[in-house]
Amino acid sequence: MARNKFDVDERLESPFQWKHLKRAGRYIAKHKYKMLLALLLSALSSVATLYIPKITQWVLDEAVPGKDAAMIGRMALLFVGVISLSIVFTVIRSRMMAHVSQQIIYDIRADLFAHLQKLPFSYYDSRPAGKILVRVINYVNSVSDILSNGIINMIIDVISLAFIVVFMYTTDATLATVIVSGLPIFVAIIILIKPRQRKAWQNQSNKNSNYNAYLAESIDGVRVSQLFDRQEVNISIMEKLATACRAAWLKAVYISNCVWLSLDGRRENGVLRRDPGHGPVREPLLAAHHQPGEHLQFLRQQHRLSGTHF
C-alpha cells in the first residue's frame, strides 16, 4: 500500500532555492534569442500604448478648444497608428511565445519522463499514480508558464511602471507625487499577503493532486469497484475530495484578490477628493486647476499603473 494516499496531502520536500531556478534556466537558454526579441516587442508595444492618453490630452486641451479640425484628424491617424502598431507587436510576440512555451513544455516533459524511468520501485510505492500524473502535467505547465511568459511579463511590468511614472512627472510633478504616494502602502500590503497567498495556492495544489489521484485510481479499478458494489462509496469519497479542492481554490482566490482590493483602495485614494456639502467627487486631488485632457491622462495613466501585475 502506498504510504501517501489520495487523502493525504503531500509535503514540500525542499523549500524554494534560487539554484533550482538556475537549473531551470537551461530550458530558457535554448530559446534566448526568441525570448529577447519577444521582450523587445513587448516593451515597444507597452511604450506605444502609453502615448494613447497623451494623444487624448492633446485633442481635448488643444484641438477641441481651438476648433482645429486638421489637428484632430492628425491625432486620429496617430491614435489608429499607435493602436495598430501595438496590436502587430502583441500578435507577433504572442505567436512567438506560444511556440517557445510549448517547446519548453516538450523539453521538460521529455526529461521528466526519462527521469521517471530511472527511479526505484520505492518512489512508485510511496505515492499514487494520479499524483505522479499531476506532477508531469499540471506542474510542468505551471513551470513552463513561469519560465516563458512569467519572466517576460515581470520585466515588462517594471518597464511600464518606469515609463508611466516618467510620463506623469513630466506632465505634473505635484499630482504625480500624490498618485505615487500610495505605492509604499501597497508594497507593504503585498509583502504581508504574498506568504499567505503562496501557502494557499500550495494547499490548493495538494487538494487538486488528491482529487486527481483518486480519480486515476477509480478509473483504473472501476471493474473491482463494480464487482464489490462500491459505486456509492466511491462517489461519496469523490464528492468530499471535490469539495475540499473547491474550498482550497476559493480561499486561494480570496487571498489573491485581497492584493487587488488593496490596489483599488490605493487608486481610489488618489482619485477621490471631498467636495464640502456634496460628498466624494471622482476627481484627482489638487486637479481642479488642470485642463480636462490633462485630468483624463492622469486617470488613464493611474489605471495603467494599477494594472501592473506585481
pTM score, two decimals? 0.64
Cα–Cα distance for residue pair 76/141, rounded to 1 Å: 42
DSSP string, 243-273: HHHHHHHHHHHHHHHHHHHHHHHHHHHHHEE
The SS3 assignment for 67 reads: coil
pLDDT of residue 250: 92
Domain ranges of the chain: 18-306
pLDDT of 248: 92
The pLDDT of residue 302? 66
pLDDT at residue 216, as a whole number: 81
Q: Which residues of the chain have pLDDT under 70?
A: 1-4, 7, 12-18, 20-21, 148-149, 259-299, 301-310
Q: Which helix (H) or strand (E) holds 302?
A: helix 292-306
Domain 18-306, classified CATH 1.20.1560.10, yes or no: yes
H or E, element range at 85: helix 69-116
pLDDT (tens digit per residue) in 154-166: 777 777 778 778 8
